[in-house]
């Protein structure tokens, strides 16, 4: 006995058997009932979702000996001929291989003849977008005035390639891609009827891999059945895809910044023989699920995800630890990196680099968390929320004019300071160039503590780096012959402007930086002051 592939065996023979296209089948059945079927129909949608199946069912229903009826009987001679593809009056034409003007001219001559056995002549042209321009033009003339016994059903995956003149003469039906859960349900019925004993999570994987195409899902099921695979693990092996477990482990490794584990998992995928590019796509989709799950919670998310209920319940507590922003940030970076992996001649390396980068990404604090912190800050800071008026600068500015700031500090001896800067320059011209921008201020009378006052900017940022400070301390110890505590202060250094005004602004800047609210904000947000801008307060 020859084996009939599942896609053929389970090809729908009535409108009711078509999965997931009720919006199309209901409308067509109504048109049949009311005898108002258009003479040119355009069926568009992804491959394997039932476009030609529906076209055949429609051809049967319109021609059925016991019809026209909302569904074909599938028993009469006409129905059987159409099912077998041997009807003279219902012809299926492959637009890809009959795309020229000659074929369409021949078709135009044939349609003039009355149907032989059926009520109507029906032409189903698949992949109609493949027709040449002249062929479309020839077709257009027929569509303008079709003989009353002729119907055209055009099927295409690319409706945008159909000339507007043709498109506008057709009634357009859009077939949709099936959802993973919907497709898995459909597979479940077939698996049960065929006595296959495939596990639920394995069916979900098949549905996911088929990307909404019924035909593809059945081809995969054929493949799985041929190997006798039933568990998720076996199905993964047959299809050469990685299961959700690996994706979950890798996702957690990324979120926890565990580079070693992440690389080990990629190695596993590689050794398993998995396609790295496909795996990268799966990882993107998986993070998309995590983002949806984190934002909506398991109840609302489960219908929007390709994951089983068990998976959803298992993942939710794991990812709840991370902010929705962090998950989104990883997803965003993955989407951007995915393209590079696809283009790469060494996809594994590209994926590894991307994952290492993701592992080192800092947790992003959400706006809500930030606002909460600001609230806490304002209520706890000594300056008080009530004093945080619309014109805080005016208040502080007024204060700075009345109370003079007590100086406890003195500038380093200019000669010694210049010698020190020269010494550092000799040892490291880079560090020397940073010091040139600084003013040295002794903050302890014994001279063991020196503040490097520096204008905020690139030099300041460089000075703040721990390595640079460490090296500067070593050099200072060498130069001064004792340990010197160097600290970097990002403040205004008096420049060449109006000395009095600048001095005053400097004091104000110092004061703003030192103010308890600013200091508290620095602490709360783990921040660094990079710039202080003072706007004049006129009127």
Q: Which residue, 83 or 171, has its beta carbon nearer to Zn ion?
A: 83
**Strand-strand pairing, 121-126 and 410-411:** unpaired
Other CB atoms within a 10 A radius of the CB of residue 244 amount to 23
Least gap, CB of 340 to Zn ion (angstroms): 56
Distance CA 215, CA 10 (A): 10
Q: Which stretch binds Zn ion (CB under 5 A): 77-85, 221-229, 253-261, 400-408?
A: 77-85
Per CB under 5 A, contacts with Zn ion among 32-71 are 64
Distance CA 75, CA 66 (A): 10
Least gap, CB of 176 to Zn ion (angstroms): 28
Q: Among 38, 69, 73, 529, which residue interacts with Zn ion (rule: CB under 5 A)? A: 73
Q: Which residue, 12 or 46, has its beta carbon nearer to Zn ion?
A: 12
318 in contact with Zn ion (CB under 5 A):
no
Instruction: Report CA-CA distances (Å) from 518 to 242, 272, 506.
Output: 51, 55, 16
Least gap, CB of 25 to Zn ion (angstroms): 17
Q: Which stretch binds Zn ion (CB under 5 A): 76-84, 107-115, 170-178, 480-488?
A: 76-84
Q: Which residue, 79 or 291, has its beta carbon nearer to Zn ion?
A: 79
Least gap, CB of 147 to Zn ion (angstroms): 23
- What is 145-213 written as a DSSP string? S--TTEEEEEEES-GGGS-HHHHTTSEEEE--PPPHHHHHHHHHHHHHHHT----HHHHHHHHHHHTT-
Distance CA 452, CA 461 (A): 12
Q: Which residue, 62 or 191, has its beta carbon nearer to Zn ion?
A: 62
Least gap, CB of 116 to Zn ion (angstroms): 16
Q: Among 54, 79, 241, 488, which residue interacts with Zn ion (rule: CB under 5 A)? A: 79
Q: Among 31, 76, 365, 464, which residue interacts with Zn ion (rule: CB under 5 A)? A: 76
Instruction: Report CA-CA distances (Å) from 215 to 18, 63, 219, 333, 534.
Output: 12, 26, 6, 33, 68
Q: Which residue, 59 or 232, has its beta carbon nearer to Zn ion?
A: 59
Could you identify the residue written with the tokens 């639920």?
Answer: 200
Least gap, CB of 61 to Zn ion (angstroms): 8
Q: Which residue, 87 or 329, has its beta carbon nearer to Zn ion?
A: 87
* Number of residues this chain uses to bind Zn ion (CB under 5 A): 5
Sheet with 485-490: list strands edge to edge: 410-411, 438-442, 449-454, 485-490
Q: Which residue, 77 or 197, has its beta carbon nearer to Zn ion?
A: 77
Distance CA 306, CA 303 (A): 8
Least gap, CB of 202 to Zn ion (angstroms): 38
Indicate the Cα dihedral angle 297, 299, 304, 309, nearest 10°.
110
Least gap, CB of 29 to Zn ion (angstroms): 15
Q: Which residue, 72 or 274, has its beta carbon nearer to Zn ion?
A: 72
Instruction: Report CA-CA distances (Å) from 9 to 215, 217, 227.
Output: 11, 13, 19
Binding site for Zn ion (CB under 5 A): 64, 72-73, 76, 79
């Amino acid at each position: 006995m020859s084996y009939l592939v599942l896609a053929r065996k389970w090809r729908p023979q009535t409108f009711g058997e078509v999965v997931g296209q009720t919006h199309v089948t209901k409308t067509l059945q109504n048109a049949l009932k009311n005898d108002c079927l258009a003479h040119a129909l355009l069926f568009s949608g992804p491959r394997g979702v039932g476009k030609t199946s529906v076209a055949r069912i429609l051809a049967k229903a319109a021609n059925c000996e016991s019809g026209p009826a909302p569904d074909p009987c599938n028993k009469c001679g006409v129905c059987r001929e159409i099912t077998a593809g041997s009807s003279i009056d219902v012809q299926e034409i492959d637009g890809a291989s009959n795309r020229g003007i000659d074929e369409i001219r021949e078709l135009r001559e044939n349609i003039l003849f009355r149907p032989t056995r059926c009520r109507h002549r029906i032409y189903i042209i698949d992949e109609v977008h493949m027709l040449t321009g002249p062929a479309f033009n020839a077709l257009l003339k027929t569509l303008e005035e079709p003989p009353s016994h002729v119907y055209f059903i055009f099927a295409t995956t690319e409706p945008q390639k159909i000339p507007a003149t043709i498109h506008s003469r057709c009634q357009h039906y859009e077939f949709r891609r099936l959802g993973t859960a919907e497709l898995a349900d459909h597979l479940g019925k077939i698996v049960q009827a065929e006595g296959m004993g495939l596990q639920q999570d394995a069916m979900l994987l098949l549905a996911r891999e088929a990307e909404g195409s019924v035909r593809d899902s059945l081809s995969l099921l054929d493949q799985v059945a041929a190997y006798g695979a039933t568990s998720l693990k076996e199905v993964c092996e047959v299809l050469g895809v990685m299961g959700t477990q690996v994706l979950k482990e890798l996702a957690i490794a990324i979120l926890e910044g565990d580079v070693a584990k992440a690389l080990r998992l990629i190695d596993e995928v590689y050794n398993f023989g998995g396609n790295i590019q496909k795996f990268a796509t799966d990882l993107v989709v998986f993070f998309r699920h995590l983002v949806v799950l984190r934002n909506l919670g398991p109840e609302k998310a489960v219908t929007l995800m390709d994951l089983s209920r068990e998976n959803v319940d298992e993942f939710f507590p794991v990812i709840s630890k991370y902010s929705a922003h962090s998950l989104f940030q990883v997803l965003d970076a993955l989407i951007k990196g995915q393209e590079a992996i696809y283009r790469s001649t060494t996809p594994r390396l590209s994926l590894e680099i991307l994952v290492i980068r993701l592992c080192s990404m800092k947790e992003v604090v959400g706006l809500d968390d930030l606002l909460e912190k600001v609230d806490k800050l304002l209520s706890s800071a000594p300056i008080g929320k009530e004093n945080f008026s619309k014109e805080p600068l005016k208040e502080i500015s007024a204060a700075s004019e009345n109370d003079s700031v007590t100086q406890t500090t003195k500038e380093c001896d200019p000669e010694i300071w210049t010698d020190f800067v020269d010494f550092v320059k000799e040892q490291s011209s880079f560090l020397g160039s940073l010091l040139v921008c600084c003013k040295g201020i002794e903050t302890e009378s014994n001279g063991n503590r020196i503040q490097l006052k520096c204008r905020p900017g690139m030099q300041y940022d460089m000075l703040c780096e721990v390595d640079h400070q460490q090296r500067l301390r070593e050099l200072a110890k060498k130069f001064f012959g004792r340990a010197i505590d160097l600290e970097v202060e990002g403040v205004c250094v008096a420049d060449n402007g109006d000395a009095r005004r600048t001095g005053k602004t400097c004091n104000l800047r110092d004061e703003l930086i030192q103010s308890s609210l600013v200091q508290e904000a620095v602490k709360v947000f783990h921040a660094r002051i990079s710039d202080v801008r003072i706007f004049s307060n006129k009127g």
